[in-house]
Amino acid sequence: MGLLLLTTLLLLAVLASIAIGSRSLSPGTVYTALHDALTCPGGPFRCQAGSTAEEIVRGLRLPRTALALVCGLALGITGALIQGYTRNPLADAGLLGLNAGAAFLAALSIYLFTFTAPEQYIWFAFAGASIAGIVVFTVSSLGGGKASPLSLVLAGAAVTAFLQAMTNAVVLLDSAALDTYRFWVVGTVNGRDADVFWQVLPFLTIGVVLAVAASPGLNLLSLGDEVARGLGVHIGRSRALGLAAIVMLCGAATAAVGPIAFLGLVVPHLARVFTGPDYRWLIPYSGLFGALLLLIADIVGRVVARPGELQVGVTLAAIGAPFFILLVRRRKLVNL
């Protein structure tokens, strides 16, 4: 029932995201535009827009909404996985160096190749997050031969500090690179077309499958390494599977919309209020909550600064900070 309710709220948020903007559209207009686009003789979305409203829906609102939906889903699941594998209730994607890796290669590609469009540097950002995740896991496994929660956090902090310094050095070399980079690093779904959505969708799909496969092992790992090993869990293989899911989800989402703060931190705590610590339920709840919050933040950003808009990263931080404080004060945080 909870998943059904969340799905219903998510569908309403999708419709609101398509209808609300600098030019608001009525529900009837949205329905007509979507119906005409889906039923055109040449195939869905293959016909030219028949009206201004249809052009707005198809060319601007629909790709933006779809990207916010899948990236919010990915970042919510990523937050749950990272907090589970590090056993740290304050962990998010930045803790393992994924955001820093994506930022470094994105800034470097912008500087070296003068990229300006997201679809140009998205692959570099994804590669940066992937490389950073592999380096953190490798470094944390040195010595003892296994990546413990503490060693993952320490390795992630070291890699993050180094990559942030390198990123600052790159963006200070060129003002044009700084202008493009600062628009990406704040976190936004504005200006992303359908090409960006289709580029990241395969990686997000694989990441969700890996996350679902990792959830039973993560439940046992939360009992402690020795207990999990005694129950037949291969610790290294389980953590490698989880890290692969985290890299796929967080790398693709961060590459597409930038490092969005607070989402991966707040969403798992909100989901635990309803699910408890069982990751078989926590992962789908976190994904749905993440998509819902990102869509709501995007809608709020369009409304409060109309006819302009606030970037979704700014809006989400403004909403997420007091909301997280409220959760803490009401003692609703469930122990890992």
> Does 50 reside within a domain?
yes
Main-chain dihedrals φ then ψ at residue 248, nearest 5 degrees:
-60, -50
Q: Do 93 and 79 touch, CB atoms closer than 8 A?
A: yes
What's the domain range around 148?
A: 2-329
Residue, of 187 and 39, whose pLDDT is higher: 187
For residue 183, the 8-state DSSP code is H
Statement: the pTM of the whole predicted model exceeds 0.75: yes
- Report the CATH number at residue 320: 1.10.3470.10
pLDDT of residue 44: 60
Confidence of residue 7 (pLDDT cuts 50, 70, 90): very high
Instruction: Evaluate if residue 226 carries a pLDDT over 70.
Output: yes
* Among the ranges given (73-82, 229-238, 257-266, 306-315), the one the predictor scored with the smallest mean pLDDT: 229-238
Judge contact between 98 and 250, C-beta under 8 A.
Answer: yes
Contact 111, 170 (CB under 8 A): yes
The answer to whether residue 19 scores a pLDDT higher than 80 is: yes
- Residue 123 located in a structural domain: yes
Domain-embedded: residue 131: yes
**What are the tens digits of pLDDT across the range 130-167?**
899 888 888 877 755 566 677 878 888 899 999 999 99
Per the structure, how many domains does the chain have? 1
Q: Stretch 80-87: mean pLDDT, rounded?
A: 87
Q: How far is Cα 291 from Cα 270, in angstroms, rounded to an integer?
A: 13
The residue type of 292 is L
Mean confidence (pLDDT) of the chain: 84
Whether 79 has a pLDDT exceeding 70, the answer reads: yes
For residue 117, pLDDT beyond 90: no
Per-residue model confidence (pLDDT) at position 166: 92
From residue 83, give the alpha-carbon distance in Å to each of 44, 46, 135, 264, 275. Answer: 40, 43, 19, 9, 15
How far apart are the C-alpha atoms of 84 and 70, rounded to whole Å?
A: 21
pLDDT in the model for residue 336: 46
Average pLDDT over residues 164-190: 85
Query: Residue 43's pLDDT is what?
Result: 62
pLDDT tens per residue across span 292-335: 999 999 999 888 877 778 888 888 888 777 877 776 676 544 44
Residue 134 covered by a domain: yes
For the segment 21-27, the average pLDDT, to the nearest whole number, is 81
Domain assignment present for 8:
yes
Is 336 within the bounds of a domain? no
The answer to the question of residue 334 being in a domain is no
Alpha helix (H) residue ranges in the chain: 2-19, 27-38, 52-56, 62-86, 98-113, 118-141, 149-171, 175-185, 194-221, 225-230, 235-257, 263-275, 279-304, 312-329
> How confident is the model at residue 334, as a pLDDT?
46
